[in-house]
RNA sequence: GCGCCCGUAGCUCAAUUGGAUAGAGCGUUAGCCUCCGGAGCUAAAGGUUACAGGUUCGAUUCCUGUCGGGCGCACCA
């Protein structure tokens, strides 16, 4: 990987000037500049070191540039620019050889080991098991699944988990709601609980229960538990299936009840107590999170002896750490951000590393149709589900739209636009480029032409070079997106790559009478196809070989 | 009242953890198919990055304050 060679080269340059220390080497930041005129890679190292070394940035930059080891296989001469940047440019030889390397690497192109095998777990969706998944869950599923793939591709040991909140008051309410629906179905009077779950799906669920058993259970004192257990089983399975169809799979579904049953909750409390951060007040047990940055201490065991939500959550994360997870990235809904500080502080109180827990808030989604907000209310049972969304706009399109935006910004999802099967829909743009390349390769094959590097040493068109440069950035884009936990950089890069390909295609005839040139351009096109396909795969979006324009349906 | 997120082109959003001349899509306007897929390409127009200060070589990014939008502020989850 180019990044490695640049870092090593800068280390050698520092050593040549007698400036090399491990601390300074760790300061090296390499980036791909926004402006093409600033080269293919750039570093601000001279400006960062200038003060410490006591030299003007530009003079330091000039010395570093001169001391940078020549590497004609990869780079041209190093340039000093602006207030003290060092800019690197790929050599012509490197660019000419890259498409062949991409074809050889194929599905592995873009992957790296920059994650150093760190064990990272992404916990996402973790919806309450009280009903179908909604559109925020759909957004979290798209982001979470993409993040897992991105981490895996960049050399992390990535795992995924879904935490099922199957303990506590709300699932009791669920059990009562289902029992009431079942009673209603068989004509037995039974009050529907106050604030119960109103959704129509519970009527369907009640109808699917084994009737004789349910009748027997209804009369017993344990009715709530029976209906709760059966409802949970069905609802969790339905969520799992919807997510799988959507392309979001999990290494494990962990149930909160299992954390209780294993004794981990009690053990966690005792461990906290041993750390001296638990005290009793007003009949309840409190954890001193204020010692670790929280605004106030938090109750972990209520006066009635039952734990609050926080304690099992601490226990769950403690359990993750004991299972070897080094970083836990949790994707939570916008209504949970008040919980971040208490949990982080609690985990620190328990002795876990400060950076163990990272929380990404997946912000709310406003569905827009006809310029109007689509109203959703879970209480009233009126909401658009993940399943609805897949049926309406298709899984590829839904995922593309969700991944285009950064997760922690509110999102207006334009259903009308997403449904449109034409050029106004940005989701098709990248897929179209892929299908177009596939088509070109098919056409070339009918003329007996295959990708090859016969013409690599010839004169290259600017658009060809521009495309190679764009493709060369792919590994670094993946690294950056994974490191920043920002999958949305992926579609942005792919849209740019597709545009770069289209420009190349417009200016450069691929299949022509010139056989070596045709082979070279076919190879370049195939390389672009591979990059687009690899990128879309990380997003969980398909890469069609062909696309049919959808039939326009007049409203 | 306190905390968190957000405020960037007419609309929806980017901007590579503080980098160089703030970019895309949609919409608008004007062009480009005897030729490998026109779901494409080219060009134009569109900005005091909500506002006021501060930090420094350099701020959309970090800090303080103000205004506006959203979400939290439980011995619910």
A100 occurs within a structural domain:
no
- pLDDT digit string, tens, across residues A172-202: 999 999 999 999 999 999 999 988 888 889 9
| pLDDT bucket at A539, cuts 50 / 70 / 90 | very high
Do A311 and A301 touch, CB atoms closer than 8 A? yes
Same domain for A437 and A503, yes or no, is yes
Residue A32 is classified by DSSP as -
DSSP assignments along A86-127, one per residue: EEE-B-HHHHHHHHHHHHHHGGGTT---TTTT-EEEEE----
Q: In DSSP terms, which residues pair with A413 in a beta bridge?
A: A367
**pLDDT for residue A553:** 43
Respond yes or no on whether ipTM tops 0.90.
yes
Choose one of A387, A403, A419: the last residue of a domain. A419
A74 occurs within a structural domain:
yes
Same domain for A338 and A287, yes or no, is yes
Closest C1' nucleotide to A548's CA: B39
- pLDDT digit string, tens, across residues A371-394: 777 766 554 545 688 998 998 889
Residue A48, domain CATH: 3.30.1360.70
Region A57-75: mean pLDDT is: 93
A248 occurs within a structural domain:
no
Q: Which of residues 55-114 of A touch strand B (CB under 7 A)?
A: 57, 81-85, 87
Region A351-364: mean pLDDT is: 90
pLDDT at A2 over 80: yes
DSSP assignments along A231-286, one per residue: HHHHHHHHHHHHHHHHT---SEEEEHHHHHHTTHHHHHHHHHHHTT-EEEETTEEE
Region A534-553: mean pLDDT is: 83
Same domain for A458 and A508, yes or no, is yes
**pLDDT for residue A465:** 94
Closest C1' nucleotide to A495's CA: B24
Q: Which of residues 192-221 of A touch strand B (CB under 7 A)?
A: none
> For residue A122, what are its two tokens?
């992404």
Q: Is the CB of A257 under 7 A from strand B?
A: no
Distance set, CA A463 to CA A207, A419, A468, A504, A521 (Å): 63, 33, 9, 5, 11
A217 occurs within a structural domain:
yes
**Secondary structure (3-state) at A181:** helix
Q: First-to-last CA distance in chain A?
A: 51
Same domain for A522 and A534, yes or no, is yes
The residue to which tokens 């074809």 are assigned: A103
**pLDDT for residue A365:** 86
Same domain for A447 and A378, yes or no, is no
Choose one of A43, A69, A89: the last residue of a domain. A89
Q: Quickly count: other Cβ atoms within 10 Å of residue A28's Cβ.
A: 17
Q: Which residue is nearest to nucleotide B42 (CA to C1')?
A: A503
- pLDDT digit string, tens, across residues A108-157: 999 999 899 999 999 999 998 988 898 889 999 999 999 999 999 999 99
- pLDDT digit string, tens, across residues A221-246: 888 899 999 999 999 999 999 999 99
Strands A365-369 and A372-373, bridge-based pairing: antiparallel
Choose one of A33, A61, A89: the last residue of a domain. A89
Q: In DSSP terms, which residues pair with A75 in a beta bridge?
A: A90
The gap between A502 CA and B8 C1' (Å) is 28
Total number of domains constituting chain A: 5
Cα separation of A478 and A480, whole Å?
5
Same domain for A280 and A355, yes or no, is yes
Q: Which residue is nearest to nucleotide B39 (CA to C1')?
A: A423
The gap between A220 CA and B59 C1' (Å) is 67
What is the span of the domain harbouring residue A53? 2-89
Q: Which of residues 337-376 of A touch strand B (CB under 7 A)?
A: 337-339, 341, 361, 363-364
A551 occurs within a structural domain:
no
Q: Is the CB of A229 under 7 A from strand B?
A: no
Kindly state the greatest CA–CA separation across chain A. 89
**pLDDT for residue A352:** 94
Cα separation of A60 and A19, whole Å?
11
- pLDDT digit string, tens, across residues A34-53: 888 899 999 999 998 988 88
């Amino acid at each position: 990987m180019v990044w490695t060679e640049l870092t090593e080269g800068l280390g050698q340059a520092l050593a040549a000037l007698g400036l090399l220390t491990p601390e300074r080497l760790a300061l090296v930041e390499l980036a791909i500049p926004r402006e093409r005129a600033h080269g293919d890679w750039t570093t601000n190292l001279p400006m960062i070191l200038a003060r410490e070394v006591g030299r003007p940035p530009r003079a330091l930059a000039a010395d570093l540039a001169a001391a940078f080891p020549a590497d004609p296989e990869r780079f041209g001469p190093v340039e000093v620019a602006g207030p003290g940047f060092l800019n690197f440019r790929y050599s012509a030889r490197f660019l000419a050889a890259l498409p062949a390397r991409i074809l050889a690497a194929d599905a592995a192109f873009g992957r790296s080991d920059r994650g150093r095998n760190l064990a990272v777990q992404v916990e996402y969706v973790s919806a309450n098991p009280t009903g179908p998944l909604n559109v925020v869950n759909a957004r979290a599923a798209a982001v979470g699944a993409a993040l897992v793939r991105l981490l895996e591709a960049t050399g992390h040991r990535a795992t995924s988990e879904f935490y099922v909140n199957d303990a506590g008051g709300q699932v009791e309410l669920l059990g009562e709601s289902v029992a009431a629906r079942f009673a209603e179905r068989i004509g037995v009077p039974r009050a529907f609980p106050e604030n119960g779950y109103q959704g129509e799906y519970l009527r369907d669920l009640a109808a699917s229960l084994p009737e004789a058993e349910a009748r027997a259970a209804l009369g017993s004192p344990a009715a709530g538990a029976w209906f709760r257990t059966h409802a949970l089983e069905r609802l969790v399975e339905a969520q799992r299936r919807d997510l799988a169809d959507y392309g979001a799979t999990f290494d494990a579904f962990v149930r909160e009840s299992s954390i209780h049953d294993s004794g981990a909750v009690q053990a966690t409390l005792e461990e906290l107590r041993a750390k001296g951060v638990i005290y009793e007040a007003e009949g309840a047990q409190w954890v001193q999170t204020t010692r670790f940055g929280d605004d106030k201490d938090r109750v972990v065991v209520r006066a009635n002896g039952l734990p609050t939500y926080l304690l099992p959550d601490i226990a769950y994360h403690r359990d993750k750490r004991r299972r070897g997870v080094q970083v836990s990235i949790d994707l939570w809904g916008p209504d949970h951000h008040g919980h971040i500080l208490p949990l982080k502080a609690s985990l620190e109180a328990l002795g876990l590393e400060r950076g163990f827990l990272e929380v990404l808030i997946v912000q709310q989604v406003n569905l827009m149709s006809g310029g109007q907000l689509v109203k959703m209310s879970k209480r009233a049972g009126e909401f658009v589900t993940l399943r609805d969304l897949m049926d309406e706009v298709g899984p590829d399109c839904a995922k593309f739209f969700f991944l285009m935006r950064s997760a922690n910004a509110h999102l207006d999802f334009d259903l009308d636009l997403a449904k449109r099967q034409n050029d106004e829909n940005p989701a098709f743009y990248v897929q179209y480029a892929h299908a177009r390349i596939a088509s070109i390769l098919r056409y070339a094959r009918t003329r007996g032409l295959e990708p090859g590097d016969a013409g690599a040493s010839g004169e290259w068109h600017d658009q060809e070079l521009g495309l190679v440069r764009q493709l060369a950035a792919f590994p670094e884009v993946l690294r950056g997106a994974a490191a920043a936990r920002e999958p949305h950089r992926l579609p942005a890069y792919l849209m740019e790559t597709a545009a770069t390909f289209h420009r190349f295609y417009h200016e450069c005839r691929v299949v022509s009478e010139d056989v070596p040139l045709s082979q070279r351009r076919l190879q370049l096109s195939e390389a672009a196809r591979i990059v687009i396909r690899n990128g879309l795969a990380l997003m969980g979006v398909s890469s069609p070989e062909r696309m049919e324009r959808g039939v326009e349906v007049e409203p």
